[in-house]
Structure 1
């Protein structure tokens, strides 16, 4: 009788252990998914550039380590980062955790979804959401980032050389006709000054033409292009911070 009881207790213990197995596996994989979601939140971080949500979704990358693998898939996105507007990006994490076992390797898996909320000049926040049923998620593509052309210095040099104080502004605008470029010009004590850039990208070039006709590119501290500073303007030459 005692032997039978002992066998029954052992069997109950084995069955209890089997019942706990899936819960343990689900818990471990879920924790791994949560860690990867936190990592992505850190990666997206502080947003200080104007972007649309699809471009932000395109920043998401698949992460893999020796201990586990994570498939990171953007599912949906909306909005943009501009002034007070907001963007959201929904991301699915498919996690497989590999555990060494006496008789081989055990796989633990989980799927979790999170929504990331972003705003210009704010840190990214996120929270878990229910995973939507999407058979084939769309693939996001980043919109081209506006920037000065490679020949910006050559263009601005030519515009300065052919300009007069009265035609300076129109000459520089003609060299950079796209409205994405900010153009700022002034004549200061006989020196023609021109600044051209993409303010949202902190991309800027400043050049002068002195009274003797010589042209020169003006250097400045990039910090002066940040919000709240001078920005891309002729003051980077005429009235720089001290």
Structure 2
């Protein structure tokens, strides 16, 4: 019959047993935590994806399209120098679809001329259709729309601008006017022949008077000068369309067109004048 071991050895066995039980308990707790985490992870993951990859706001997207379309239109119109009226600008430059937005003029006033500017108020609209995500991780889009009003300013020899304005009340139900472009006066197709016939007619009292009768001052400009070399210089223009004919009658009666830089006849420059030949810009 064996005798019981010393007390110190028994205490050691009890301590080891307690450590084993504690370790097993700890492992069990860790396993439970891991299992709960694994089961809960998909729910948390889908919650995150739902917040980050949920459908985009269609109204916000449509408004962004409106703003970007207006900015792009301003850039496209750029530096303006054409003399015209606001209604023509509204009809030809600000009616229709530009980018992904629809432009509808609602009011216009003024004209583009030296020292003057034309303004056109425009309703700009955009629509976005609802779209479901095609692949995992792709965002869908809710249906949406946006509408905003802008005032476009067309100065003479400066850059076009556009500023947001309040849309008039009741605009959605209003019948909007339709702008009609005005065809600017141009020199007639036979203008050169008319000028040549007048210069060749010895019975004409003066060439300038005959030219002014043929090209009325309300629409056209006429200048006639004689140089020190005995050359007669004629300039006949239609400022509204930047048309200009420059003819030089040499001392032997022959007619020449010396040509000029088209920029020189634009508003703010020399214009259609005899100085295009006698004193051309540098």
1:1-242 matches, within 5 Å, as: 24-58=57-91, 59-63=93-97, 69-98=100-129, 100-102=131-133, 107-132=143-168, 133-134=170-171, 135-163=174-202, 167-188=206-227, 189-227=229-267, 229-241=269-281
- Flag structure 1 segments of 5+ consecutive residues without an equivalent: 1-5
Report Cα offsets for 1:4-26 as digits up to 9, x if no partner.
Answer: xx9xx99xx7xx97xx86x8111
The TM-score with structure 2 as length reference comes to: 0.69
Higher helix share: 2
Moved more, 32-41 or 156-165: 156-165
Report Cα offsets for 1:36-89 as digits up to 9, x if no partner.
Answer: 111222233322122221111112132266xxx422111111222233333321
Deviation at 1:99, TM superposition (A): 5.7
Moved more, 103-112 or 114-123: 103-112
Q: Are the counterparts in 1 of residues 84 and 240 from structure 2 also a CA contact under 8 Å?
A: no
Deviation at 1:110, TM superposition (A): 1.5
Matched positions, count: 227
Deviation at 1:209, TM superposition (A): 2.3
The TM-score with structure 1 as length reference comes to: 0.79
Deviation at 1:163, TM superposition (A): 4.7
Deviation at 1:126, TM superposition (A): 1.7
Could you say what the CA RMSD is over the residues aligned between the two structures, in angstroms?
A: 3.1
Higher strand share: 1
- Flag structure 2 segments of 5+ consecutive residues without an equivalent: 1-39, 135-139
SS in 2 for 1:233: coil
